[in-house]
Amino acid sequence: MRLTAVACAIVIVWATLAFAAGEKNISSREAKGLLSKGKNVFLLDVRTPDEYRQAHLRGAVLIPVNEIERRLREVPKNRPVVVYCAVGSRSGMVAGYLAGKGYSEVYNMSDGIVGWYRSGFSIEH
């Protein structure tokens, strides 16, 4: 539990420092459009494994927020990255962290998988 708190604190600090570095908030509708354009977008789910098992977006890679620093190499720098969580708060922190680490095209799905579902888009179970 303490390790999780430390990891979250690190992500928050990085997100704060990287706020102006280049991440962009987009809605689930905008994310759907970006994903459908075939631009080889990397879809990053930063929720917990339990949340992911309950429902996730097709093609999403799960890297929980408390593992992002350790697993950063799994996120490609040469592709657009769309980050999502339940409602956009955790993903916003991770998007800022990625931008601060030099990722040039990072999008935070600000309404999360909840917004995606409310828009009528399909989810995987």
- List, by residue number, the catalytic residues: 85
Residue 118 C-beta-side C-alpha neighbours within 13 Å: 9
84 three-state secondary structure: strand
Of the candidates 41, 48, 89, 86, which has an alpha carbon nearest to the alpha carbon of residue 68?
A: 48
Residue with tokens 């080889």: 40
Which two tokens mark 78?
């040469």
Of the candidates 15, 13, 12, 10, which has an alpha carbon nearest to the alpha carbon of residue 98?
A: 15
Distance CA 112, CA 95 (A): 13
